[in-house]
Amino acid sequence: MRSERIRHIAALGSSYAAGPGIEPIADRRAHRSSRNYPHLLAERLDAALTDLTISGSTTETITSTPQRFLFRTFAPQLDGLPADADLVTITVGGNDLHYISSMVRLGLAGRFSSRPLTRPLGAVVKRRGVPRPSKDDIDRTAAGLAQVVKEVRGRAKGARVLLVDYLTVVGPDTGYGRATPFDAATLADFRRLGGHVADVFTRAATRTGAELVGMGELSRDHALGSPQPWVTGLPERLSGSSLRGAFHPNSAGMQAVADAIADHL
């Protein structure tokens, strides 16, 4: 790998890059932390940072479609990409396949189902189950991620482009618990969906020649239920603010991603 000095990092992506729920928050309307992996990496490399990450982003809201989030509309992230960036990190695609949002929804359903008073509500919320994306859905997401890479190269012509995939949430040893109120079948479905997300990154990297930092594989031993998880589960106290970070990287996870990227470089 090349080892030239990195002077300016640009970060594109969704909540797995933005870091909702990790204090301090740099932009509350984007749910973007100042201790997410782009910030930690920039500190480690002593580089400038343009952090364009926004929770809830999809491949389309990075390339072409304005993103409406709460009471704010964000321009496509590529509109803010600096031409002089020499490293661009990309973490997006999970929302295209409804990955983490379905985990939050079914986590709430599981919690509601554990209490007699809210059990009927849990049954209603659970009806939709874990998404089962079609081959076309997966192909479309991989193509969307490849398009992000292509457009980054057109705008920041000298940049190294790194695809940074999602940390593993449900690992081989993740079981039922307060933070993971899923039965065995649901856990298996989430493992499968996580595999589809990882496959999207692999296919986009193969198609474009972009470098891939495979955090899914690197974090398999740090999934929920492990001694040192790099992601959070469903919080004990449920609120709008606490749910923002549910099933997302925690501080240790963000540090692990930053370290893995630095090692890759």
**Percent of the chain scored above 70 by pLDDT?**
92
How much is the pLDDT for 4?
A: 77
The confidence band for 1, taking pLDDT boundaries of 50, 70 and 90, is: very low
List the one residue out of 91, 100, 94 whose CA is nearest residue 11. Answer: 91
Confirm whether 244 is domain-assigned.
yes
pLDDT score of 120 more than 60: no
> Higher pLDDT residue, 193 or 3?
193
How much is the pLDDT for 118?
A: 61
How much is the pLDDT for 171?
A: 96
Confirm whether 2 is domain-assigned.
no
**Region 51-65 average pLDDT:** 97
Residue 147 burial (CB count, 10 A):
18
49 neighbors 82 (Cβ within 8 angstroms): no
Residues in the chain: 265
Confirm whether 186 is domain-assigned.
yes
Instruction: Name the phi and psi angles at 187, rounded to 5.
Output: -60, -45
pLDDT tens-digit profile of 131-163?
A: 899 999 999 999 999 999 999 999 999 999 999
Confirm whether 1 is domain-assigned.
no
pLDDT tens-digit profile of 13-42?
A: 999 999 998 999 999 999 999 999 999 999
Range of the domain at 130: 8-264
CATH assignment of the domain containing 63: 3.40.50.1110
pLDDT tens-digit profile of 66-91?
A: 998 767 899 999 999 999 999 999 99
Instruction: Name the phi and psi angles at 28, rounded to 5.
Output: -70, -30
Q: What is the mean pLDDT of the chain?
A: 93
Residue 72 bridge partners (DSSP): 69
Range in 183-187, 225-229, 241-245 with the lowest mean pLDDT: 241-245
How much is the pLDDT for 110?
A: 78
Confirm whether 154 is domain-assigned.
yes
Residues 6+ apart with CB under 8 A from 43: none
pLDDT score of 121 more than 60: no
pLDDT score of 255 more than 80: yes
Confirm whether 242 is domain-assigned.
yes
Active site residues: 15, 248
> Total structural domains in the chain?
1
Task: Characterise 125 by phi-psi region: left (phi > 0), alpha (psi -120 to 50), beta (else).
Answer: alpha
Spell out the alpha helix ranges (H) of 67-183. 99-113, 119-126, 135-155
Q: Amino acid identity of 126?
A: K
Residue 65 burial (CB count, 10 A):
13
Q: Amino acid identity of 159?
A: A
**Percent of the chain scored above 90 by pLDDT?**
81
The confidence band for 127, taking pLDDT boundaries of 50, 70 and 90, is: low
pLDDT score of 218 more than 90: yes
Confirm whether 157 is domain-assigned.
yes
Confirm whether 149 is domain-assigned.
yes
Distance CA 108, CA 247 (A): 12
How much is the pLDDT for 134?
A: 96
